[in-house]
Amino acid sequence: MSSLLPFDSVICILLGLSLTLWFTLLLVFIIVPAIFGVSFGIRRLYMKTLLRIFTWATLRIERGIKENSHALYKPLSNGIIAKESTSFEEGIWELRGNGRSLDRPEFELSDIFYFCRQGMESIVDDEVTQRFSGEELETWNLLTRTNYNFQHISLRLTVLWGLGMLVRYTFLLPLRVALAITGVSLLVIGTTVVGFLPNGRFKEFLSKHVHLMCYRICVRALTAIITYHGSENRPRKGGICVANHTSPIDVIILASDGYYAMVGQIHGGLMGVIQRAMVKSCPHVWFERSEVKDRHLVAKRLTDHVQDKSKLPILIFPEGTCINNTSVMMFKKGSFEIGATVYPVAIKYDPRFGDAFWNSSKYGMVTYLLRMMTSWAIVCSVWYLPPMTRQEDEDAVQFANRVKSAIAHQGGLVDLLWDGGLKREKVKDTFKEEQQKVYSRIIAGSQENRSRS
């Protein structure tokens, strides 16, 4: 009788040993450090290695382009259309011709071309639309989706891209998915168990550390490398933390370094399970779908929360939608009418390692998370700014604009007055009517001049 084990048994033993080794490494190098909030520096070393590879790849691309006599593609950063700033009337007069603006009939067919030109320029060089598309990098980071202009340069570079794709999809993706499942599962289980404890300091202590632990695991599921600045200005109880909004993972980025009460609409499915578990251990502010549109009810719930100085600071993204990491758009005034201390936070992602922007009009949540988990890493900087309060001579809109400007300045972002909701809404009729009124005044002026003559 042979003493050798059957082949199937050997395969099972090897598979068992591989899984044991996998989960041991996962526990020792990721989960345990996340629990205690420490890092072995592996992610930082990984980031530095990637930067060296990107530098080499960029130099190789530039050399290959020079050899092939092609121009290196660089996106225009100062606007697509070169034009001078002129008024509505000046544009019409210029199109009609010099010296014939006031004595011509009230309407000329050439006026139509002015409106056509303005419309096409607005479509091509629209300040709002530009903020809802991913950043195009001047250099290539070996992710096809970050430079659509890339062409074959050399065999070595193509092989490097292929190896990178293999690493991202066969090693990093399974690891990140396992970490994400672990973090979410621990969050649901941990908050549910803590929810059964009586209210008190011990429950608050456990709830805080369960949240921090699980969010830190989720951060590692994205290989997120975060640098926090100004930690002495972290939001405190009884206040409101407001930040610019680029991605749903903004919540994880901030919550892995602080303890917040979340605000949002109640969802179904997996998100609903997570929300119901979280609210058992921490006083988050969730609204029913029918309540979200009631501004007075929302303001009252938020006011009641911040007036209780024992409750956690509220985390809010006043833009109401995700912007593409280049600018900050209009803050909704509701969060600034409450009268609480506002703690501004600026978040800026490094696009060289992956595009964190979520274009919700183009990608669903699952597709977006897949793109995040197949990127090299999520690298960002977070600045906690000094707390701000509403001044006596300020209304809510002015206060919101002042906070927005501070965030934009610190994060190196463009400060825009446009409402981010315009990406899904049609142009308001009032804007169209304003242009019609201006043109009507031009025609009326022409008629008056003719009658006087």
Sorted by where each begins, the domain ranges of the chain are 145-417
Question: What is the pLDDT at residue 79?
Answer: 46
Per-residue pLDDT band for 452 (boundaries 50, 70, 90) equals: very low
Per-residue pLDDT band for 137 (boundaries 50, 70, 90) equals: low
Contact 241, 260 (CB under 8 A): yes
> pLDDT tens digits, residue range 65-118?
666 654 444 444 444 444 555 665 666 666 666 544 445 545 666 666 677 766
Which parts of 247-363 are beta strand (E)? 261-265, 285-287, 314-316, 327-328, 342-349
**pTM of the predicted structure, to 2 decimals:** 0.75
Q: Is the dihedral of CA 190, 196, 199, 202 positive or negative?
A: negative
Average model confidence (pLDDT) across the chain: 76
324, burial (CB in 10 Å: exposed 0-12, middle 13-18, buried 19+): buried
Distance of CA 218 to CAs 184, 221, 222, 450, Å? Answer: 8, 5, 7, 72
- Selection from 245, 237, 155 nearest residue 204 by Cα: 237
> pLDDT tens digits, residue range 320-346?
888 888 888 888 888 888 878 899 999
Degrees, nearest 5: CA angle 41-47-51 = 145
